[in-house]
Structure 1
Amino acid sequence: MAFHEVRFPAAISFGSVGGPERRVEIVTLANGFEERNSPWAESRRRYDAGVGLRSLDDVAEVIAFFEARQGQLYGFRWKDWADFKSCAPNDLVAAEDQLLGLGDGVRRVFQLRKAYASGGQRQWRTVRKPVAGTVLASVAGDPKIESLEFSVDLENGLVTFTDAPDLDVEVRAGFEFDVPVRFDTDRLLVSVESFRAGEVPNVPVIEVRI
Protein backbone atom coordinates (compact mmCIF):
# COMPACT_ATOMS: atom_id res chain seq x y z
CA MET A 1 0.00 0.00 0.00
CA ALA A 2 1.26 3.50 -0.86
CA PHE A 3 2.20 5.10 2.45
CA HIS A 4 4.44 7.96 3.54
CA GLU A 5 6.00 7.60 6.99
CA VAL A 6 5.32 11.23 7.86
CA ARG A 7 2.95 12.64 10.47
CA PHE A 8 0.23 15.17 9.77
CA PRO A 9 1.09 18.43 11.64
CA ALA A 10 0.32 17.54 15.27
CA ALA A 11 -0.46 21.13 16.23
CA ILE A 12 -3.31 21.12 13.70
CA SER A 13 -4.63 17.64 14.51
CA PHE A 14 -4.81 18.74 18.17
CA GLY A 15 -7.97 20.70 17.41
CA SER A 16 -9.57 18.10 15.15
CA VAL A 17 -12.70 16.07 15.86
CA GLY A 18 -13.18 12.37 15.24
CA GLY A 19 -12.96 8.90 16.68
CA PRO A 20 -13.82 5.22 16.12
CA GLU A 21 -16.49 4.03 13.72
CA ARG A 22 -18.13 0.59 13.75
CA ARG A 23 -20.15 -1.09 11.03
CA VAL A 24 -23.05 -3.17 12.31
CA GLU A 25 -25.63 -4.83 10.09
CA ILE A 26 -29.05 -4.94 11.77
CA VAL A 27 -31.99 -7.00 10.55
CA THR A 28 -35.34 -6.46 12.28
CA LEU A 29 -37.39 -9.65 12.30
CA ALA A 30 -41.18 -9.86 11.89
CA ASN A 31 -41.58 -10.41 15.64
CA GLY A 32 -39.67 -7.22 16.43
CA PHE A 33 -36.47 -8.93 17.56
CA GLU A 34 -33.18 -7.99 15.92
CA GLU A 35 -30.26 -9.89 14.49
CA ARG A 36 -27.02 -7.95 14.62
CA ASN A 37 -23.71 -8.75 12.97
CA SER A 38 -20.49 -6.88 12.23
CA PRO A 39 -18.24 -7.62 9.26
CA TRP A 40 -15.43 -5.62 10.90
CA ALA A 41 -13.15 -7.21 13.47
CA GLU A 42 -11.79 -3.78 14.46
CA SER A 43 -13.18 -0.26 14.35
CA ARG A 44 -12.07 2.36 11.85
CA ARG A 45 -11.27 5.95 12.78
CA ARG A 46 -12.47 9.09 11.02
CA TYR A 47 -11.38 12.66 11.67
CA ASP A 48 -11.97 16.19 10.39
CA ALA A 49 -8.71 18.11 10.29
CA GLY A 50 -10.43 21.32 9.24
CA VAL A 51 -11.61 22.05 12.77
CA GLY A 52 -7.99 22.40 13.90
CA LEU A 53 -7.17 25.16 11.41
CA ARG A 54 -6.65 28.43 13.27
CA SER A 55 -4.85 30.66 10.76
CA LEU A 56 -4.12 31.05 7.07
CA ASP A 57 -0.64 29.70 7.79
CA ASP A 58 -2.29 26.49 9.01
CA VAL A 59 -4.31 26.37 5.79
CA ALA A 60 -1.14 26.74 3.71
CA GLU A 61 0.55 23.95 5.70
CA VAL A 62 -2.37 21.58 5.14
CA ILE A 63 -2.49 22.39 1.42
CA ALA A 64 1.23 21.63 1.13
CA PHE A 65 0.74 18.36 3.04
CA PHE A 66 -2.25 17.45 0.83
CA GLU A 67 -0.26 18.11 -2.36
CA ALA A 68 2.73 16.11 -1.12
CA ARG A 69 0.46 13.12 -0.43
CA GLN A 70 -1.19 13.61 -3.85
CA GLY A 71 -4.61 13.76 -2.27
CA GLN A 72 -5.91 10.30 -1.40
CA LEU A 73 -3.03 8.47 -3.10
CA TYR A 74 -0.61 8.18 -0.18
CA GLY A 75 -1.41 7.37 3.42
CA PHE A 76 0.29 9.08 6.35
CA ARG A 77 0.53 9.11 10.14
CA TRP A 78 -2.02 10.89 12.30
CA LYS A 79 -1.81 11.68 16.00
CA ASP A 80 -5.16 11.11 17.70
CA TRP A 81 -4.78 13.29 20.78
CA ALA A 82 -7.63 11.47 22.52
CA ASP A 83 -6.02 8.05 22.06
CA PHE A 84 -2.30 7.85 21.32
CA LYS A 85 -0.85 5.89 24.26
CA SER A 86 -0.86 2.32 25.53
CA CYS A 87 -2.02 3.73 28.87
CA ALA A 88 -4.50 6.37 30.06
CA PRO A 89 -3.93 9.81 28.47
CA ASN A 90 -2.57 11.37 31.68
CA ASP A 91 -0.37 8.41 32.65
CA LEU A 92 3.20 7.74 31.63
CA VAL A 93 3.93 4.88 29.25
CA ALA A 94 5.25 1.82 31.09
CA ALA A 95 6.77 -1.45 29.89
CA GLU A 96 3.90 -3.50 31.32
CA ASP A 97 0.98 -1.51 29.90
CA GLN A 98 -0.29 -4.03 27.33
CA LEU A 99 -0.08 -7.81 27.04
CA LEU A 100 1.34 -8.81 23.66
CA GLY A 101 1.20 -12.53 24.29
CA LEU A 102 2.83 -15.46 26.07
CA GLY A 103 6.24 -16.84 25.28
CA ASP A 104 6.70 -20.36 23.94
CA GLY A 105 10.49 -20.57 23.92
CA VAL A 106 10.59 -20.21 20.13
CA ARG A 107 8.64 -17.15 19.05
CA ARG A 108 10.63 -13.90 19.02
CA VAL A 109 8.30 -11.54 17.12
CA PHE A 110 5.23 -9.98 18.77
CA GLN A 111 2.65 -7.55 17.35
CA LEU A 112 1.93 -4.38 19.31
CA ARG A 113 -1.70 -4.11 20.36
CA LYS A 114 -3.94 -2.24 22.76
CA ALA A 115 -6.88 -3.55 24.79
CA TYR A 116 -10.14 -1.66 25.37
CA ALA A 117 -12.03 -3.17 28.30
CA SER A 118 -15.45 -2.41 29.78
CA GLY A 119 -18.08 -4.44 31.59
CA GLY A 120 -16.11 -7.64 31.43
CA GLN A 121 -15.61 -7.36 27.65
CA ARG A 122 -12.27 -6.78 25.99
CA GLN A 123 -11.56 -5.63 22.44
CA TRP A 124 -8.05 -5.68 21.00
CA ARG A 125 -6.72 -3.09 18.56
CA THR A 126 -3.70 -3.87 16.41
CA VAL A 127 -1.11 -1.09 16.56
CA ARG A 128 0.86 -0.73 13.32
CA LYS A 129 2.48 2.69 13.69
CA PRO A 130 4.38 3.09 16.99
CA VAL A 131 6.26 6.33 17.56
CA ALA A 132 10.04 6.05 17.45
CA GLY A 133 11.75 6.09 20.83
CA THR A 134 8.57 5.48 22.86
CA VAL A 135 8.36 1.67 22.89
CA LEU A 136 9.17 -0.02 26.18
CA ALA A 137 9.07 -3.82 26.50
CA SER A 138 9.24 -6.36 29.29
CA VAL A 139 9.35 -10.16 29.60
CA ALA A 140 8.04 -11.74 32.81
CA GLY A 141 8.12 -8.26 34.38
CA ASP A 142 11.76 -7.70 33.48
CA PRO A 143 12.27 -4.52 31.40
CA LYS A 144 14.27 -5.01 28.22
CA ILE A 145 16.64 -2.61 26.47
CA GLU A 146 15.82 -1.49 22.93
CA SER A 147 18.50 -2.17 20.29
CA LEU A 148 20.22 -4.55 22.69
CA GLU A 149 17.48 -6.97 23.74
CA PHE A 150 14.73 -6.06 21.30
CA SER A 151 14.06 -4.03 18.16
CA VAL A 152 10.93 -2.32 16.83
CA ASP A 153 9.60 -2.25 13.27
CA LEU A 154 8.11 1.26 13.15
CA GLU A 155 6.27 0.61 9.89
CA ASN A 156 4.38 -2.48 11.04
CA GLY A 157 4.40 -2.39 14.85
CA LEU A 158 6.39 -5.58 15.33
CA VAL A 159 8.66 -6.11 18.35
CA THR A 160 11.47 -8.62 17.83
CA PHE A 161 13.37 -9.95 20.83
CA THR A 162 16.97 -11.06 20.61
CA ASP A 163 16.13 -14.16 22.64
CA ALA A 164 12.78 -15.94 22.50
CA PRO A 165 10.78 -15.46 25.73
CA ASP A 166 10.46 -18.60 27.84
CA LEU A 167 7.36 -20.76 27.86
CA ASP A 168 4.20 -19.14 29.30
CA VAL A 169 5.88 -15.91 30.45
CA GLU A 170 4.03 -12.65 29.77
CA VAL A 171 5.41 -10.40 27.05
CA ARG A 172 4.27 -6.82 27.56
CA ALA A 173 4.92 -3.39 26.09
CA GLY A 174 4.09 0.27 26.47
CA PHE A 175 4.21 2.80 23.64
CA GLU A 176 2.87 5.85 21.90
CA PHE A 177 1.37 5.35 18.46
CA ASP A 178 -0.05 7.07 15.39
CA VAL A 179 -3.05 6.08 13.27
CA PRO A 180 -2.40 5.19 9.61
CA VAL A 181 -4.78 7.37 7.58
CA ARG A 182 -5.35 9.03 4.23
CA PHE A 183 -7.32 12.03 3.06
CA ASP A 184 -10.94 11.11 2.35
CA THR A 185 -11.40 13.68 -0.40
CA ASP A 186 -9.82 14.50 -3.75
CA ARG A 187 -10.09 18.23 -3.28
CA LEU A 188 -9.75 20.94 -0.65
CA LEU A 189 -12.15 23.86 -0.85
CA VAL A 190 -10.78 26.88 0.99
CA SER A 191 -12.06 30.44 0.77
CA VAL A 192 -9.85 33.05 2.42
CA GLU A 193 -12.82 35.36 2.96
CA SER A 194 -14.93 32.58 4.51
CA PHE A 195 -12.04 31.41 6.71
CA ARG A 196 -11.53 34.92 8.09
CA ALA A 197 -15.27 35.08 8.79
CA GLY A 198 -15.00 32.00 10.97
CA GLU A 199 -16.12 29.30 8.52
CA VAL A 200 -13.95 26.18 8.83
CA PRO A 201 -13.09 24.16 5.70
CA ASN A 202 -13.85 20.44 5.67
CA VAL A 203 -10.71 18.26 5.62
CA PRO A 204 -11.86 14.63 6.11
CA VAL A 205 -9.33 11.98 7.07
CA ILE A 206 -9.99 8.22 7.36
CA GLU A 207 -8.02 5.32 8.83
CA VAL A 208 -6.56 2.75 6.40
CA ARG A 209 -5.96 -0.94 6.98
CA ILE A 210 -2.33 -2.05 6.87
Structure 2
Amino acid sequence: LPVGELVALVGPTGAGKTSLAYLIPSLLLPSSGRVFIDDHDVTDVDIDSLRQQVSYVFQEHILLSESIRGNLLLAKADATLEQMTQALTTAGCMEFIEDLPDGIDTVLGRSGDTLSVGQQQRLSIARGLVRDSSVLILDEPTAALDPRTENKLVTSLRAAAADRLVVVIAHRLSTIRRADRIVFLENGEIRDVGDHDTLMASADSPYREFVELQAGS
Protein backbone atom coordinates (compact mmCIF):
# COMPACT_ATOMS: atom_id res chain seq x y z
CA LEU A 1 0.00 0.00 0.00
CA PRO A 2 1.71 3.22 -1.11
CA VAL A 3 1.94 6.53 0.72
CA GLY A 4 -0.62 8.95 -0.63
CA GLU A 5 -3.65 6.67 -0.47
CA LEU A 6 -6.76 6.48 1.67
CA VAL A 7 -7.38 2.75 2.05
CA ALA A 8 -10.60 1.28 3.47
CA LEU A 9 -10.66 -2.14 5.12
CA VAL A 10 -14.17 -3.48 4.58
CA GLY A 11 -16.07 -6.64 5.40
CA PRO A 12 -18.67 -8.24 7.65
CA THR A 13 -18.21 -8.50 11.40
CA GLY A 14 -15.46 -10.98 12.22
CA ALA A 15 -13.92 -10.81 8.73
CA GLY A 16 -10.49 -9.87 10.07
CA LYS A 17 -10.37 -6.11 9.46
CA THR A 18 -9.01 -5.19 12.89
CA SER A 19 -6.62 -8.14 12.91
CA LEU A 20 -5.19 -7.00 9.56
CA ALA A 21 -4.79 -3.45 10.86
CA TYR A 22 -3.09 -4.73 14.03
CA LEU A 23 -0.41 -6.41 11.90
CA ILE A 24 0.91 -3.05 10.67
CA PRO A 25 2.25 -1.76 14.04
CA SER A 26 2.88 -5.33 15.30
CA LEU A 27 0.05 -5.22 17.80
CA LEU A 28 -0.54 -8.70 16.41
CA LEU A 29 2.06 -10.98 14.81
CA PRO A 30 1.22 -13.07 11.73
CA SER A 31 0.84 -16.82 12.22
CA SER A 32 2.13 -17.20 8.66
CA GLY A 33 3.47 -14.84 6.02
CA ARG A 34 5.36 -11.60 6.62
CA VAL A 35 4.54 -7.90 6.96
CA PHE A 36 6.81 -5.31 5.34
CA ILE A 37 6.94 -1.54 5.82
CA ASP A 38 9.34 0.31 3.50
CA ASP A 39 10.81 -3.07 2.47
CA HIS A 40 11.61 -3.94 6.09
CA ASP A 41 10.10 -6.99 7.78
CA VAL A 42 8.37 -5.58 10.87
CA THR A 43 9.76 -8.42 12.98
CA ASP A 44 13.29 -7.18 12.19
CA VAL A 45 12.57 -3.55 13.09
CA ASP A 46 12.90 -2.01 16.56
CA ILE A 47 9.35 -2.02 17.92
CA ASP A 48 9.58 1.53 19.31
CA SER A 49 10.90 2.83 15.99
CA LEU A 50 8.10 1.05 14.13
CA ARG A 51 5.36 2.45 16.34
CA GLN A 52 6.73 5.96 16.00
CA GLN A 53 5.88 5.64 12.32
CA VAL A 54 2.33 4.39 12.91
CA SER A 55 -0.55 6.16 14.67
CA TYR A 56 -3.53 3.98 15.59
CA VAL A 57 -6.78 5.67 16.61
CA PHE A 58 -8.93 3.03 18.29
CA GLN A 59 -12.72 2.92 18.12
CA GLU A 60 -12.88 3.41 21.90
CA HIS A 61 -11.93 7.01 22.64
CA ILE A 62 -9.52 7.40 25.55
CA LEU A 63 -9.30 11.04 26.65
CA LEU A 64 -7.87 12.24 29.93
CA SER A 65 -9.42 14.73 32.35
CA GLU A 66 -6.93 17.25 31.05
CA SER A 67 -7.04 20.20 28.69
CA ILE A 68 -7.51 19.61 24.98
CA ARG A 69 -3.96 20.89 24.51
CA GLY A 70 -2.71 18.41 27.12
CA ASN A 71 -4.47 15.51 25.43
CA LEU A 72 -2.84 16.41 22.11
CA LEU A 73 0.60 16.74 23.71
CA LEU A 74 0.30 13.14 24.89
CA ALA A 75 0.75 12.16 21.24
CA LYS A 76 3.66 14.51 20.57
CA ALA A 77 5.16 16.30 23.56
CA ASP A 78 6.91 18.95 21.45
CA ALA A 79 3.97 19.71 19.14
CA THR A 80 3.66 23.40 18.33
CA LEU A 81 0.39 25.33 18.52
CA GLU A 82 0.43 25.52 14.72
CA GLN A 83 0.74 21.73 14.43
CA MET A 84 -2.04 21.19 16.95
CA THR A 85 -4.31 23.70 15.23
CA GLN A 86 -3.71 22.04 11.86
CA ALA A 87 -4.56 18.60 13.28
CA LEU A 88 -7.68 19.96 14.99
CA THR A 89 -8.77 21.68 11.79
CA THR A 90 -8.28 18.55 9.68
CA ALA A 91 -10.30 16.49 12.18
CA GLY A 92 -13.10 19.08 12.22
CA CYS A 93 -12.59 20.07 15.86
CA MET A 94 -12.06 23.82 15.60
CA GLU A 95 -15.74 24.55 15.01
CA PHE A 96 -16.65 23.29 18.51
CA ILE A 97 -13.38 24.24 20.26
CA GLU A 98 -13.95 27.88 19.36
CA ASP A 99 -17.24 27.72 21.30
CA LEU A 100 -15.62 26.31 24.46
CA PRO A 101 -14.90 28.75 27.32
CA ASP A 102 -11.11 28.35 27.20
CA GLY A 103 -10.68 27.08 23.66
CA ILE A 104 -7.85 24.60 23.31
CA ASP A 105 -7.07 25.02 27.02
CA THR A 106 -10.55 23.90 28.09
CA VAL A 107 -10.23 21.07 30.63
CA LEU A 108 -12.29 18.03 29.72
CA GLY A 109 -14.45 16.16 32.18
CA ARG A 110 -13.88 12.58 33.23
CA SER A 111 -13.11 10.45 30.14
CA GLY A 112 -13.73 13.50 27.97
CA ASP A 113 -17.44 13.65 28.82
CA THR A 114 -17.45 17.44 28.44
CA LEU A 115 -17.71 16.63 24.74
CA SER A 116 -20.28 14.67 22.75
CA VAL A 117 -19.29 11.22 21.48
CA GLY A 118 -18.79 12.62 17.98
CA GLN A 119 -16.59 15.43 19.31
CA GLN A 120 -14.54 12.93 21.32
CA GLN A 121 -14.11 10.88 18.17
CA ARG A 122 -12.83 13.87 16.19
CA LEU A 123 -10.47 14.90 18.99
CA SER A 124 -9.04 11.37 19.08
CA ILE A 125 -8.43 11.62 15.32
CA ALA A 126 -6.72 15.00 15.82
CA ARG A 127 -4.45 13.41 18.42
CA GLY A 128 -3.52 10.75 15.88
CA LEU A 129 -2.85 13.40 13.23
CA VAL A 130 -0.66 15.58 15.45
CA ARG A 131 1.93 12.78 15.64
CA ASP A 132 2.49 13.30 11.91
CA SER A 133 3.43 9.65 11.41
CA SER A 134 3.86 7.94 8.04
CA VAL A 135 0.89 5.63 8.62
CA LEU A 136 -2.42 6.62 10.24
CA ILE A 137 -4.91 3.86 11.08
CA LEU A 138 -8.45 4.83 12.06
CA ASP A 139 -10.96 2.33 13.44
CA GLU A 140 -14.50 3.41 12.47
CA PRO A 141 -13.60 7.13 12.30
CA THR A 142 -17.08 8.27 11.21
CA ALA A 143 -19.27 5.95 13.31
CA ALA A 144 -20.58 8.70 15.62
CA LEU A 145 -20.75 11.50 13.05
CA ASP A 146 -23.71 13.01 11.23
CA PRO A 147 -23.56 12.90 7.39
CA ARG A 148 -22.42 16.53 7.01
CA THR A 149 -19.57 16.16 9.51
CA GLU A 150 -18.63 12.77 8.05
CA ASN A 151 -18.37 14.26 4.56
CA LYS A 152 -16.11 17.08 5.76
CA LEU A 153 -13.90 14.67 7.72
CA VAL A 154 -13.45 12.23 4.83
CA THR A 155 -12.57 15.14 2.53
CA SER A 156 -9.95 16.29 5.05
CA LEU A 157 -8.58 12.75 5.47
CA ARG A 158 -8.16 12.42 1.72
CA ALA A 159 -6.11 15.63 1.78
CA ALA A 160 -4.12 14.37 4.78
CA ALA A 161 -3.31 11.19 2.84
CA ALA A 162 -1.26 13.21 0.35
CA ASP A 163 1.94 12.59 2.32
CA ARG A 164 1.05 9.53 4.39
CA LEU A 165 -0.86 6.26 4.19
CA VAL A 166 -4.28 6.51 5.82
CA VAL A 167 -6.03 3.21 6.59
CA VAL A 168 -9.64 3.25 7.79
CA ILE A 169 -11.69 0.35 9.11
CA ALA A 170 -15.13 1.31 7.86
CA HIS A 171 -18.73 0.12 7.61
CA ARG A 172 -20.44 3.20 6.19
CA LEU A 173 -20.69 3.07 2.40
CA SER A 174 -20.50 6.86 2.27
CA THR A 175 -16.99 6.63 3.74
CA ILE A 176 -15.92 3.48 1.88
CA ARG A 177 -16.81 4.64 -1.62
CA ARG A 178 -14.47 7.65 -1.38
CA ALA A 179 -11.40 5.57 -0.57
CA ASP A 180 -8.64 5.33 -3.18
CA ARG A 181 -8.44 1.60 -2.53
CA ILE A 182 -10.84 -0.85 -0.88
CA VAL A 183 -9.59 -4.08 0.66
CA PHE A 184 -12.57 -6.38 1.16
CA LEU A 185 -12.17 -9.21 3.67
CA GLU A 186 -14.36 -12.19 4.37
CA ASN A 187 -13.73 -15.14 6.70
CA GLY A 188 -10.20 -13.96 7.40
CA GLU A 189 -9.21 -13.70 3.73
CA ILE A 190 -8.76 -10.79 1.32
CA ARG A 191 -11.42 -11.39 -1.34
CA ASP A 192 -11.32 -8.15 -3.35
CA VAL A 193 -9.06 -5.14 -3.87
CA GLY A 194 -9.84 -2.04 -5.93
CA ASP A 195 -11.75 1.23 -5.89
CA HIS A 196 -15.52 1.33 -5.39
CA ASP A 197 -16.51 1.98 -9.00
CA THR A 198 -14.23 -0.73 -10.41
CA LEU A 199 -15.39 -3.35 -7.93
CA MET A 200 -19.07 -2.47 -8.40
CA ALA A 201 -18.64 -2.84 -12.18
CA SER A 202 -17.49 -6.45 -11.75
CA ALA A 203 -20.41 -8.90 -11.86
CA ASP A 204 -18.64 -11.52 -9.73
CA SER A 205 -17.13 -9.13 -7.17
CA PRO A 206 -17.53 -10.31 -3.54
CA TYR A 207 -17.41 -6.63 -2.52
CA ARG A 208 -20.29 -5.80 -4.86
CA GLU A 209 -22.30 -8.70 -3.43
CA PHE A 210 -21.62 -7.42 0.09
CA VAL A 211 -22.69 -3.86 -0.78
CA GLU A 212 -25.89 -5.03 -2.48
CA LEU A 213 -26.70 -7.26 0.48
CA GLN A 214 -26.19 -4.34 2.87
CA ALA A 215 -28.37 -2.08 0.73
CA GLY A 216 -31.16 -4.64 0.74
CA SER A 217 -31.07 -5.35 4.47
Asked which structure has the greater CA Rg, the reply is 1
Highest RCO, 1 vs 2 (Cα 8 Å, sep ≥ 6): 2
TM range (shorter): under 0.3
- Could you tell me the TM-score, scaled by structure 1's length? 0.25
Say which structure is richer in helix. 2
Say which structure is richer in strand. 1
